[in-house]
Amino acid sequence: MSRLVVVSNRVADPSKASQSGGLAVALADALAERGGIWFGWDGKVVEKGTRVPPATHTEGRVTTVTLPLTRKDYEEYYLGFANSVLWPIFHYRLDLSDFRTAYVKGYQRVNSKFADALAPLLKPDDLIWIHDYHLLPLASELRKRGHGHRIGFFLHIPFPPSDILAAAPEHQLLVRSLFSCDLVGFQTNTDLANFERYVLEHQGEESDGGHLKAYERTILVGSFPIGIDAEAFAALAHTPKADAQIQLLQRRTIARTHIIGVDRLDYSKGLPERLRAFRRLLELYPQHHKSVTLMQIAPPTREDVDAYTDIREELEALTGAINGRYGDFDWTPLRYIHRTIPRPTLAALFRGCQVGLVTPLRDGMNLVAKEYVAAQDLNDPGVLVLSKFAGAAEELKEALLVNPYDIDEVAEALEVAITMPLKERQERNNALLERIRRHDARYWQENFLSALEQTSLGAAA
Ligand code: GDG
């Protein structure tokens, strides 16, 4: 079995992978089985001129290799091109993209630095697996340095329709770079179709049987919906400590029905629209006053990007307005928590809440939707209300699927969820759970790597 080299923008500490969630666990498992390297940024920023060699840390058969970014790299590559250009555009938000010429240069520069630092660590037979939008040009940088390895790339976020991508600076170059890979994987069939359409429009070559030919290379493409470790998450939700936390949640509030939302505070997650839908529920159904609450956990993220400050202010204002209008001395309708909550507490809260409200405006997959289902009690499961624009909606058909922009529709779905009879809740939950268990994180990782191993050996582009 070939050694695995995983490259991602950030590297999770493998010894803490179980606390960090699905992706870190899936990758840590694959690395432990095959042995290998996990390479990426250590999350630190150093001032110009500071030369810090990559730090290596080996545990068992896995070595993490991390390096810091200079302030300029952090601003131009991470905050700039990755998170102020690619993230909004790939989430269909051209209005939020903030393009500066320096960003493209910074993005190319960091990808080239990553390739320089990674190159000496590679062995001839390694399988290389690159992750996400930060590193679209990395495969092409490695090929330029003469590496003929099998290279796979997986995009965790959506791939936008051709016309939207065409608004991104250097879009042709970015897509062309992906043709230096042997396998390019997406979360959903929609993303895959968008990619194929872009390539056909810009290169005019035919695809066949999962292969796509363009830029003088033929690559394998496919959709590989990411999963979670459903068993482990269910176990986390069913500990004596989780039981105690759920009892506390029920004792401390007069509400009988708890709705929960958990999302990084990101504009792609549809949080203001979600709060408005909850307000509409209270407007339309006064019988729920004092019997329903919404708990929205929204840990901070990318606070150095302006668009993220704006959304935080909007949410704080909405929370105040809703609680001011509907709250009473013995009832706070909306609890908004702008902090990271420990993972076991999150699992307990999912289990203790009767409705999981997951309404991103656009999302690659959305693991929270799967975690909510995995945490439920089979005897008395809650109901998942899910945006049809989350990648997860392609698989999770038995959720109540909603258009997150349509406030009335989401409010009505909440009403259906709150009043759903036990039998229907169980039928829906069983069907969802069966699929989430079958297509778990291991299934995702094994499928991707076996497809990559079956490609013919990468030729230099
Ligand atoms: C990207 C794509 C794709 C959240 N708050 C807390 C916390 N979390 C955990 C959740 C979940 C993870 O973070 C978030 O995953 P999502 O999939 O929901 O979203 P992104 O972070 O945007 O991830 C996404 C994913 O990559 C994987 O491919 O699904 O579409 O955007 O696991 O539980 N964890 C803890 N405390 C919190 O407060 N401990």
Alpha helices per DSSP H over 7-122: 17-20, 22-34, 71-73, 87-90, 101-118
Distance from residue 23's CA to the centre of ligand 1 (Å)? 9
Contact 275, 312 (CB under 8 A): no
**3-class DSSP assignment, residue 355:** strand
* Top mutation candidate among 25, 188, 262 for ligand 1, by most atoms within 8 Å of CB: 262
How many other C-beta atoms can be found within 10 angstroms of the C-beta atom of residue 335?
A: 15
Residue nearest (by alpha carbon) to ligand 1 atom 26: 156
What confidence score (pLDDT) does residue 458 get? 47
**CA separation, residue 216 to residues 61, 156, 176, 180, 212 (Å):** 37, 26, 10, 10, 10
How does pLDDT run across 436-457, given as a tens digit for each residue? 999 999 999 999 999 999 997 6
CA 392 to chain centroid, in Å, comes to 11
Q: What confidence score (pLDDT) does residue 94 get?
A: 96
Identify the pLDDT of residue 2. Answer: 87
Q: Is 302 left (phi over 0), alpha (psi -120 to 50) or beta?
A: left
d(CA 326, CA 65): 52
Predicted pLDDT at 301:
85
Please give the Cα distance from 444 to 447 (Å, whole number): 5
pLDDT score recorded for residue 200: 92
- Quick check: 59 and 27 in contact, CB under 8 A? no
Distance 356 CA to ligand 1 centre (A): 14
Determine whether the shortest distance from the Cβ of 341 to ligand 1 is under 6 A.
yes
The predicted pLDDT at position 16 comes to 64
Q: What angle do CA 334, 396, 361 make, to 5 degrees?
A: 50
What is the greatest pairwise CA distance in the chain?
Answer: 69
Which atom, in ligand 1's list, is nearest to the CA of 392?
Answer: 29
Q: Which residues of the chain have pLDDT under 70?
A: 13-22, 457-461
CA of residue 363 to ligand 1 center, whole Å: 10
**CB distance 155 to ligand 1 below 6 Å:** no
CA-CA-CA-CA torsion for 115, 121, 127, 129, nearest 10 degrees? -40
Q: Is 297 in the pocket of ligand 1 (CB under 6 A)?
A: yes
pLDDT at 209: 76
pTM, full prediction = 0.96
The CA radius of gyration of the chain, in Å to the nearest whole number, is: 23
As a whole number, the mean pLDDT across the chain is: 93
367 alpha carbon – ligand 1 mean position (Å): 6
Q: How do residues 153-206 score in pLDDT, each as one tens digit?
A: 999 999 999 999 999 989 999 999 999 999 999 999 999 999 999 999 988 777
Three-state SS for 328? strand
- Residue 149 CA to residue 383 CA, distance in Å, equals 45
Is the distance from the beta carbon of residue 248 to the nearest atom of ligand 1 less than 6 Å?
A: no
* For the CA of 391, the nearest atom of ligand 1: 30
> Which strand ranges, in their side-by-side order, compose the sheet holding 36-46?
55-59, 62-70, 36-46, 4-10, 127-131, 150-154, 183-186, 217-223, 211-214, 207-208
366 in contact with ligand 1, CB cutoff 6 A: yes
Q: Is 363 in the pocket of ligand 1 (CB under 6 A)?
A: yes
21 lines ligand 1 (CB under 6 A): yes
**Residues linked to residue 153 through DSSP beta bridges, in sequence order:** 130, 184
Segment 303-331, tens digit of pLDDT: 888 888 888 899 999 999 999 999 999 99
Residue 365 C-alpha from the chain's centroid: 6
Q: Which tokens sit at 457?
A: 């050996």
The predicted structure's pLDDT at residue 457:
62
Catalytic residue annotation: 156, 363
pLDDT at 22: 58
Tokens standing for 275?
């709060």
Ligand 1, atom 20: closest residue by C-alpha: 366
